[in-house]
Amino acid sequence: MKKFIVPLICYMAILLVLLNLDTITDFISKHISDNNNLTIPVSNEYKKEDEFLYVQKSIDYKPYSYHDLINIFYSIINSGFSEFTFYCPEEYTECLSDASNLSKDDLTLTHINNFVHPFNSFQTIKTSISEAGEITIYVTYLYTNEEIEKINNYVDKLINEQYDNSDDDYENIKKIHDYIINNTKYDVNRNNTGESEYKSYSAIGIVEDGYATCNGYADLMAIILSKLNYKNYKIATTSDEISYESNGHIWNALELDGEWLHLDLTWDDPVSSDGKDYLYHKYFLVTTEELNKADDGNITVEEHNFDKSIYQEFKN
């Protein structure tokens, strides 16, 4: 008889759990949401303290909207956290589905990445989401500690040689712009084939080998601008936003004397058919109107048709 009763009791217990699964899940979710204690690590030295119109620092890492989730993702990446857990509040009923959608939205994550210091930009970002409302972000960063040290040494030397406090901002940034272009070649092979012997997709490619694609140019300039305390970020136009075949494009933006301006080293360092090196200033500290007029008038520069709902400093 005992052999029959024990399995029956177990079966009834399992059935009871299954019948009340939603109630139990709701209880666990509420318990976690109401009683969690966030562990917030110490941010690294490359965290930006600036506020931008599209992304802002999260105060309590507690989301109540989709944009709150964007701010939390931004704050985690911007702070240099390799792992961080936060929780969905009970009243934000779409939190889990929104977090899942954002974690899969590579385009939005790319744009978020452009607002952080390059040394805190991610190479990969993964999200773990539990039905109980617990969300954990895992970040693998693009630059190694060894690469950061090399780049910092290069940047310190460059600033020491080129930056003069007696000159105005325009002239100082121009000297740095010219130095990078004069000491860097565009990596045509990576652009055409996706492969290269150089790490030209990041600033280390310039430092070690003198080769870059637009990512490398933009990262190095962003690192320098941040070190010189200019408020800045990178702007990206992705391949999905261009009608013809293209890998997309990325360049710099900075605030100077209260005005946001564009700075595109890639297009000021053109690849010439005659093999000669050229240095332009057509895309140097220009307004959006000037940026769009910088070509010869015969082509549409879709690479510069950026999303003003994201890069809102240029909205007007």
Residue 199, domain extent: 145-314
**Is 2 contained in some domain?**
no
Token match 């210091």: residue? 117
**Is 166 contained in some domain?**
yes
Q: Which of 72, 130, 62, 139 is nearest to 96 (CA)?
A: 130
> CA 100 to CA 313: how far, in whole Å?
28
- Find out whether 33 and 87 touch, Cβ atoms under 8 Å: yes
What single-letter DSSP state applies at residue 238? -
Do both 211 and 152 map to the same domain? yes
Query: What are 236-276's pLDDT values in tens digits?
Result: 987 666 555 556 799 999 999 999 999 999 999 887 655 67
What radius of gyration, in Å, describes the C-alpha atoms of the chain? 24
Q: Which residue has the higher pLDDT, 17 or 93?
A: 93
Do both 127 and 208 map to the same domain? no
- Range of weakest confidence among 179-183, 217-221, 231-235, 302-306: 302-306
% of residues, the chain, pLDDT over 70: 82
Do both 292 and 197 map to the same domain? yes
> CA 148 to CA 220: how far, in whole Å?
11
> CA 109 to CA 214: how far, in whole Å?
18
Do both 153 and 280 map to the same domain? yes
Do both 225 and 176 map to the same domain? yes
Q: How confident is the model at residue 297 (pLDDT cuts 50, 70, 90)?
A: low
Do both 130 and 158 map to the same domain? no
Average pLDDT, rounded, for the chain: 87
Q: What is the average per-residue pLDDT within 192-211?
A: 92
Query: What are 73-107's pLDDT values in tens digits?
Result: 999 999 999 999 999 999 999 999 999 999 999 99
Do both 149 and 117 map to the same domain? no
**Is 5 contained in some domain?**
no
Do both 119 and 194 map to the same domain? no
Do both 158 and 178 map to the same domain? yes
**Is 14 contained in some domain?**
no
Neighbours of 139 (CB within 10 A): 20
| Count of structural domains within the chain | 2
End-to-end CA distance of the chain: 82
Q: What are residue 238's DSSP bridge partners?
A: none
**Is 21 contained in some domain?**
no
**Is 264 contained in some domain?**
yes
Neighbours of 97 (CB within 10 A): 11
Query: What are 34-85's pLDDT values in tens digits?
Result: 446 788 899 999 999 999 999 999 999 999 999 999 999 999 999 999 999 9
Kindly state the tokens that stand for 166: 């007696």
